[in-house]
Amino acid sequence: MAALVHSGHCSTVRSIIALDVDYFYCQVELRKRPNIDRNHPVAAFQRNLVVTCNYPARAAGVKKLMLVKDARDVCPGLILLDASDLQDYRVACSEIICLLKDMLGGAAVENLGLDEFFIDVTEIVCRRKEYYSCTTSFKGYCWPSKDCDSYNLLENEELRNFVVASHLCLEIREAIKSKLQLTCSGGISNSKLLSKLAAGLHKPDEQTIILPHLVESYLNNLDLRKLPGIGSVTYQSLVDHFCVSTCEQLRFVPVERLVEAFGKRTGIRLYHICRGIDEESVRDTSLVKSISCEERFAKTECWSEILRYLRIVVERLLDRLVEHARVSSGRYGRLLVVTYLKTLSTKRESISCNVPFDVIRLCSLCNSLKSSSSECFEKFSNLYRSTLKQLENRCIQLLRIRLGSDFSLCLVSVGVKNFVTLKEVDQTSHPNSIISLIQRSEAKSTFSSVVGQTSSREPMKCCICNAFLNMEMSNEDINRHIDKCLCMESHDKSMNKNVLDGFIKSKKPKVSLTSSQCSIGT
C-alpha cells in the first residue's frame, strides 16, 4: 500500500520526483564547448575508458566503460572530451541543488552520486492543487501511455495529485535546461524506488509517471536486474536458489526463505521491492557534514613538492566551500582538518584547528548573493585571494609542526568539518558572539571590525602558548597570534602536537567572545 502523508492542509499519497541528468559528464563538457553540435557523436572519457556518451554515439555502438580505442573503431567520427577534472561535475551538481532549493523552498532534495536527485514534493503538490484545479492532462508519459485518456482526473484526488506533480516536474526540468544547459529525464511516483524506475523509461529529456494502482502490473514482467540494489551476485543467487528472474516470480518466494538465504535486511528488502513497497523517505543530503579534497602522489620528502600539492587541494576546497554556501543558507564549518599518509604507513594521520574567520566571511557573503561562482569570485576577488592564502598558510603551518623536517608522504588532504547552521547555534549566550556578528554583517553587506561590548566572562587562553588573550582582540588578531605561535621554532613541537589535536575538540567549557572574535572550540 502507498504511504499516506498528513499535513495541515491535506492527507495524500506521497509524490516523489526523481531526476536523472542525461549523459551527465558529457553534457557538462559540452556546455563548456557550445560550438560542438550535440547531435554529433560525443563521448566523455577518463584515462582510457569511456565514462558516458550522448545518444548519437550510443546509436553508433559506443558503450559505457568501453576502451577509447574500441570506441574510435566503432564510431570513427566520435568526438572525445576529457572528463578527468571532477571539480566541474561537483560544481554542476551544486548548481542543480541550488536551483532546486530556490524553486522549491524547503522541499527535501536528496543527491545520489552527482547526476541523480530525489525530491519529495508532497507538500508542494498540496499547496498547488488549487492552481491546477482545471487541469485534466498529465505532462509527459504515463505508464502505460494508452490508458492515460481514460482517467477521470477531476474526480479522483489521488490522480489529481500526480497531475500536479507532473506539471511541477516539467517546470523543474525546463528550468534546469534553460538556466544550466542540462537536460534531465524525470520520474514521478509514490516512492523513491518507483520514481527512479520511471525516470529510466523514456530517455533522454522526457518524464514518466507510474501511478500507484498500476505498480503491480508494471513490475510483473520486470527483470530483477533492473531493480535498484540487486546486483549481479544477488541476481544469480536468486536464479540459482529459487529459479526466479522477474518480480512476479519473486513474489511467490516466502519472506522466511529470503531471510534465510540473504539475511534479514536484504531478505526483507527483496520481499518488499518486488511488490513496489518502499517507505524510505527523501533525505536532504544538501546539508553536508564535511567537505574535503585530497591529492595522491608518488612518495616525496621535499617540502616544495608538498606545498605544491597542498595549494592545489586548498584551492579546490575553497571553491567547494563557496559552492556549498550558495546552496545551503547560513551553514559554515568550524573545524579545519589536515590529513596526510606517510609512505610506509597504512593509517592516515591528521591535525586540526579552527577554521580561519575569513573563510566563514567569504561563504556568508557568497550565500547572501545567491549568485554563480564566477559572479561571487568577481565581486569578492580580493577577499577570495586573501582567504585562499590564509587557508593555505594555516595548513602549511600545521603540517610543519607535525612533520618537522624528517618525513615521507604520499597523500595530503584538507577538509572542513562540524558544519552548523546559524539558527542551530544558541545566540542568547552572548550578544556579541561570532554568530551575531555574521548576521549583523549580512544585513549591512559588510563586516565590521569594531569591537562591541566587552565580555564579562573569564579571559581566554591561547591553546598554543597558554598566554591570556585580550578580550578586545579582533578575530583577525587572534588568528595572527595563533599563526605566530605555530611558526615559533623554539616552541616545544611535541607539546604542539598534543595540544593542536584537541584544539577544537577540547572538553573545556566554551568561552563566548566579543563581536569580532570567534569561539575557539566546538
Q: Report CA-CA distances (Å) from 402 to 85, 298, 397, 506.
A: 31, 20, 9, 19
Whole-angstrom Cα distance, residue 1 to residue 447?
54
Per-residue pLDDT band at 346 (split at 50, 70, 90): confident
Contacts of 19 by beta carbon, 8 Å cutoff, 6+ apart: 96, 116, 117, 118, 119, 172, 173, 176, 184, 185, 186, 199
Q: For 50-70, what is the mean pLDDT?
A: 94
Question: Is the pLDDT score of 435 beyond 70?
Answer: no
Residue 35 has pLDDT above 60, yes or no: yes
385-417 pLDDT, tens digit each: 888 999 999 998 889 888 887 888 989 999 998
> Which tops the pLDDT comparison, 209 or 284?
209
Cα 474 to Cα 457: distance, rounded to the nearest angstrom: 16
Minimal CA–CA distance to 500: which of 395, 364, 426? Answer: 395
Pairing of strands 4-6, 11-13: antiparallel
The whole-angstrom separation of Cα 442 and Cα 463 is 30
> What single DSSP character describes residue 150?
G
Least reliable range by pLDDT among 25-29, 254-258, 310-314, 369-373: 369-373
Q: What mean pLDDT comes out for the span 20-29?
A: 95
pLDDT reading at 262 higher than 80: yes
Query: Model pTM greater than 0.85?
Result: no
CATH class of the region 24-85: alpha beta
Most confident of 208-217, 440-449, 501-510: 208-217
In this structure, are residues 60 and 78 in contact, taking their beta carbons and an 8 Å threshold?
Answer: yes
Cα(270)–Cα(241) distance, integer angstroms: 14
Looking at residue 380, its amino acid is: F
What is the phi/psi pair of residue 337, to 5°? -125, 125
* Per-residue confidence (pLDDT) for residue 177, from 0 to 100: 96
Query: Has residue 156 got a pLDDT over 60?
Result: yes
Quote the pLDDT of residue 372: 55
Cα separation of 397 and 482, whole Å? 10
Beta strands 207-210 and 141-143: pairing type? Answer: parallel
Going from the C-alpha of 131 to that of each of 125, 134, 138, 193, 507, the distances in angstroms are 10, 8, 15, 28, 54
Give the model's pLDDT for residue 484: 64
Residue ranges of the chain that CATH labels 1.10.150.20:
220-273
CA 164 – CA 138 distance, rounded (Å):
8
Higher pLDDT, 461 or 502: 461
Q: Judge whether residue 150 has pLDDT over 50.
A: no
> Which residues, including other chains, have CB under 8 Å from residue 348's CB and lie 6 or more apart?
339, 340, 341, 411, 413
Percent of the chain at pLDDT > 70 equals 72
Report the SS3 class of residue 408: coil
In this predicted model, what pLDDT tens digit does every residue of 104-141 receive, in sequence order? 877 889 998 889 999 999 999 988 877 776 666 889 99
DSSP letters along 414-467, please?
Answer: EEEEEEEEGGGS-TTS-TTSHHHHHHHHHHHTS------SPP-SPPPBPTTT-P
C-alpha 309/C-alpha 292 separation (Å) is: 14
Residue for cell digits 605561535? 485
DSSP-derived letter for residue 214 is G
- For range 475-486, the mean pLDDT: 62
298-341 pLDDT, tens per residue?
888 888 888 899 999 999 899 888 877 776 666 778 899 999 99
pLDDT of residue 434: 46
pLDDT for 472? 57
Mean pLDDT of all residues in the chain?
A: 78
Query: Per residue in 178-191, pLDDT tens?
Result: 999 999 999 999 99
Please report which confidence band the pLDDT of residue 285 belongs to, taking 50, 70 and 90 as the band edges: confident
Q: How many degrees, rounded to 5, is the angle at CA 278 between CA 275 and CA 279? A: 140
Closest CA to 388 of 318, 446, 439, 328: 318
371 versus 468: which is more confidently predicted?
468
Domain 220-273 belongs to what topology? DNA polymerase; domain 1 (1.10.150)
Average pLDDT over residues 227-232: 87
Question: Could you count the other beta carbons within 10 Å of the beta carbon of residue 501?
Answer: 16
pLDDT band at 52 (very low <50, low <70, confident <90, very high): very high
Our CA dihedral for 329, 335, 336, 337, rounded to 10 degrees, sits at -120
Which residues make up the CATH 3.40.1170.60 domain(s) of the chain? Answer: 24-85
Cβ atoms of 486 and 398 closer than 8 Å: yes
Using CA atoms, how far residue 139 sits from 135, 173, 238, in Å, is 10, 12, 37
Sign of CA dihedral 450, 482, 383, 414: negative
Q: What angle do CA 167, 173, 174 make, to 5 degrees?
A: 90
What value does the mean pLDDT take over residues 485-510? 44
500 has pLDDT over 80 = no
Q: What is the pLDDT confidence band of residue 91, given thresholds at 50, 70 and 90? A: confident
